[in-house]
Structure 1
Amino acid sequence: MSDAFGESLSITAATVDPALLDLPWSLPLEQWTSEHIAALPKGISRHIVRFANLSGYVIAVKETSADLAQREYDMLRTLQRLEVPCVEPLAVIQGRTDENGAPLETALVTRHLRFSLPYRALFSQMLRPDTATRLADALALLLVRLHVIGFFWGDVSLSNTLFRRDAGAFAAYLVDAETGKLYQGGLSKGQRENDLEVARVNIAGELMDLAAGGHVDEDLDPLVTSERIVSQYRMLWNELTGRESFSSAERWRINQRVDRLNTLGFDIEELSIRTAEHGSEVVIQPKVVDAGHHTRRLLRLTGLDAEENQARRLLNDLDQWRHAFGKGHLDEEMAAHEWVAGVFEPVIRAIPRELRGKLESAEIFHQVLEHRWFMSERQSRDVPLAEALNSYVEEILRHRRDEAALLEPVTGGLAVPTRISAGPEDWRATV
């Protein structure tokens, strides 16, 4: 809906938060003061962008033209309906004027994605080659998901992406859809290759910029990393859309193809299968694929919402728990309920309150399991979960920076954020 406020200011939004009216829209964004600014690390943008506190959450405000703001707002809403990982659009603020009545640029307002960071804030001192590779892999997967639904990005880069930790990997979210366009008939190979080449060039340039500033490990090769997104994209695209032929005696390969896609995190909603006229050959090609296989299964079984790799890890722990504690006779939903109540929730409740903003609950649980595995291997014994949890909190989590809320703006694109602390709190593991 669109509602007008005051003499000229208008807000276009699905639902209007009245607190939006309290922000200083009569000032250019670059003049907003610390009273309203939430100091979070920002990526590189061609526009002025500021973060602000609003009704208990953080928003990102970008100044741009009225046409571009409305177009990007509509595009982000469409991508959300298509369940593509992207920031949530909240409003378009038009009709802004300063105290002298001079017009100001239109503002696009989006909700800040909690626990997400721009690529430049994902490291404290040096960007290691393996971290850069995981960022490229995450961006390749996002690009494939966008291309599958017919979205041409036009400006693929690390700077236009936010990243959330995902069980040792990263999940990528689209931030800037200003240049994007959705094609109902799908993308041509030329359009896809154009996006891929833009990604390769932009990523190489972004990493070279970091290298020039001495912020990457000397073993990191920006060109090799940028080529990684190309090879990873081609592998994923071929697995999702490629035709596969085999003899009619090898029909088991249909299930094998489905299993491979499930492992990559995709469900197949429709397959095209045909046999040759002589009946000795079968051709299979996925027609409709849907990302989030493990995420949907975990949500269905437990009600927990997690990234794809986190969901896969939690489901693996659930399966191992069922086997270890003789719960195989229970139906899957009943076992999942017991696992959440007896394993997952006690671990999360045992995290000190002042440390819970450091990582998402699912990521904390994954890292506790990783820590337990390393402890067990190092000590050649099966370390109890409670012992591993205590060790993880004191040796690792307590020394991490918060990723739900970060202080200190990025200087020159880089910052070591300061943690917001709620104060000390006694606790003990209950698992």
Structure 2
Amino acid sequence: MALQISATNPEHPALLLELPWQTPLEEWPEEYLVPLPRGISRHVVRYARAGDEVVAVKELAERPALREYQLLRDLDRLAIPAVDALAVVTGRTDAAGEPLEPVLITRHLGGSMPYRSMFETTLRPATMHRLMDALAVLLVRLHLAGFAWGDCSLSNTLFRRDAGAYAAYLVDAETGELHQRLSDGQRDYDLDLARVNISGELLDLEASGALHPSVDPVDFGTEICARYRSLWQELTRTSVYPAGKYHYIERRIRRLNDLGFDVAEMQIEHASNGDTVTFVPKVVDAGHHQRQLLRLTGLDAEENQARRLLNDLESWMATQDDYAPGDPLGARPEVLAHRWVREVFRPTVRAVPVELRGAMDPAEIYHELLEHRWYLSERAQHDIGLDTAVADYIAHILPRARETLQPTSD
């Protein structure tokens, strides 16, 4: 069987052909390898250079290699933090013509470290708590996307520093399964595996003297379960608010945003005793909101502005009589989005006198007005409406802002 390289990018096969595929991976010459820290793996794994890229090469049987390759591509499509699958190489033979195991090739995650490398210097308990937070968030993201990991552990995760915290990335999807939705039993099974695996890994570190003496391996294994359940409850619970308390919905969205999740869908069911709001969070890639806002409305804004405007657009659409997701007779989101621009966004921005706007662009003005409405609604304990917020903003906020920006004379 001839050597075959199945790759996501047409440029990769030519670069990968330079690697010594006729040699078993554990015998690759040093000239091809990159000395990076590796975690524990049941397979032979090496880091190598392919052109300008550093890749991770893992030997395993053909069927699991192709399966993991597809799963990693699916996770990338779902914007889940995981290593990028680049290629699968099959049909390998040695110099005598004997078959060699296929390999899965992934892109090295720059700036990341396996957990054992991080314990070369004893980690403080506070740092370990942040690692557990990052792993709990990763597991929740996977479960929200319908992915049952099947082997959640520190060994199958890479960690990267993220503004004082840590971000966790899935590095091994070999045992994973992707479903439309996970049952509670599937989630509990994953969580129990995580508890057992993490406790075992920390016990190994304790035995080698690499664990802080105040850290209890069993307690830390249990901790991820508590952190996961708390986060899952916040993300998936149904909230019931009295009619007119729409600023409570915004408060909930803000809390979810602070946790690093975005509300991709929001269903509002009107009932006699109030409004039932069901949130379906979805983790999205960087720049998602900019692209989404531009596609729907034609407005070009910064990422945080776009997120804020999209949240307002989503809330507004849910109040429209002809908004019926999934109903072919209902108005499409694009139609409603342009109506929102025409009937809500532009009139609101134009209500602010040009001479008072300063250097603020329309998206920033609207964002400021939404923030002011939020503040006034919280103070009044009911939704005060956008018109009232605009009038108050023009009367009380903009004049003070202009005074602050005025140059002073000595």
TM-score by length of structure 1 reads 0.66
1:334 shift after superposition: 10
Aligned partner letter, 2:85: P
Match of 2:133 in 1: 137
- The 5 A counterparts of 1:28-427 are 28-184=24-180, 186-248=181-243, 250-276=245-271, 279-286=272-279, 288-292=280-284, 329-331=358-360
1:235 shift after superposition: 1.4
Aligned partner letter, 1:331: M
> Measured at CA, do residues 294 and 72 of structure 1 come closer, stay the same or move farther in structure 2, by a change above 3 Å?
closer
1:159 shift after superposition: 0.6
Structure 1 residue 10 corresponds to structure 2 residue 30: no
> Measured at CA, do residues 230 and 333 of structure 1 come closer, stay the same or move farther in structure 2, by a change above 3 Å?
farther
Aligned partner letter, 2:282: D
1:237 shift after superposition: 0.9
Match of 1:410 in 2: none
Q: Distance in 2 between matches of 1:218 and 1:160?
A: 25
1:171 shift after superposition: 0.5
Are the aligned partners of 2:55 and 2:108 in contact in 1 as well (CA < 8 Å)?
Answer: yes
Please state whether the residue corresponding to 2:55 is helix, strand or coil.
strand
1:332 shift after superposition: 5.9
> Measured at CA, do residues 293 and 19 of structure 1 come closer, stay the same or move farther in structure 2, by a change above 3 Å?
closer
> Measured at CA, do residues 295 and 233 of structure 1 come closer, stay the same or move farther in structure 2, by a change above 3 Å?
farther
Are the aligned partners of 2:120 and 2:210 in contact in 1 as well (CA < 8 Å)?
Answer: no
1:247 shift after superposition: 3.1
Q: Distance in 2 between matches of 1:134 and 1:169?
A: 6
Q: Distance in 2 between matches of 1:12 and 1:252?
A: 51
Aligned partner letter, 2:39: G
Are the aligned partners of 1:265 and 1:293 in contact in 2 as well (CA < 8 Å)?
Answer: no
Are the aligned partners of 1:302 and 1:333 in contact in 2 as well (CA < 8 Å)?
Answer: no
1:18 shift after superposition: 0.9
Are the aligned partners of 1:154 and 1:195 in contact in 2 as well (CA < 8 Å)?
Answer: yes
TM-score by length of structure 2 reads 0.69
Aligned partner letter, 1:215: A
Aligned partner letter, 2:221: S
1:35 shift after superposition: 0.9
Aligned partner letter, 1:66: E
Spell out, residue by residue over 1:289-324, the C-alpha distance to the aligned partner (whole angstroms, 9 max, x if none): 2225987569986699xxxxxxxxxxxxxxxxxxxx
Are the aligned partners of 1:87 and 1:174 in contact in 2 as well (CA < 8 Å)?
Answer: yes
Are the aligned partners of 1:266 and 1:293 in contact in 2 as well (CA < 8 Å)?
Answer: no
Q: Distance in 2 between matches of 1:17 and 1:11?
A: 6
Please state whether the residue corresponding to 1:22 is helix, strand or coil.
coil
Please state whether the residue corresponding to 1:61 is helix, strand or coil.
strand
Please state whether the residue corresponding to 2:221 is helix, strand or coil.
helix
1:245 shift after superposition: 2.3
Q: Distance in 2 between matches of 1:249 and 1:333?
A: 28
Are the aligned partners of 1:200 and 1:227 in contact in 2 as well (CA < 8 Å)?
Answer: yes
1:65 shift after superposition: 0.4
> Measured at CA, do residues 292 and 80 of structure 1 come closer, stay the same or move farther in structure 2, by a change above 3 Å?
closer
1:251 shift after superposition: 3.8
Spell out, residue by residue over 1:323-352, the C-alpha distance to the aligned partner (whole angstroms, 9 max, x if none): xxxxx94326999xxxxxxxxxxxxxxxxx
Q: Distance in 1 between matches of 2:142 and 2:148?
A: 7
Structure 2, gaps ≥5 residues long: 292-299, 305-356, 365-410
Q: Distance in 2 between matches of 1:227 and 1:295?
A: 35
Structure 1, gaps ≥5 residues long: 1-6, 305-327, 336-431
Q: Distance in 2 between matches of 1:85 and 1:40?
A: 20
Q: Distance in 2 between matches of 1:249 and 1:13?
A: 54
The total of aligned residue pairs comes to 303
> Measured at CA, do residues 298 and 202 of structure 1 come closer, stay the same or move farther in structure 2, by a change above 3 Å?
farther
1:263 shift after superposition: 1.2
Spell out, residue by residue over 1:173-219, the C-alpha distance to the aligned partner (whole angstroms, 9 max, x if none): 111000111112x0000000000111111111111111110001101
> Measured at CA, do residues 120 and 73 of structure 1 come closer, stay the same or move farther in structure 2, by a change above 3 Å?
same
Structure index of larger Rg: 2
Please state whether the residue corresponding to 1:35 is helix, strand or coil.
helix
Are the aligned partners of 2:45 and 2:58 in contact in 1 as well (CA < 8 Å)?
Answer: yes
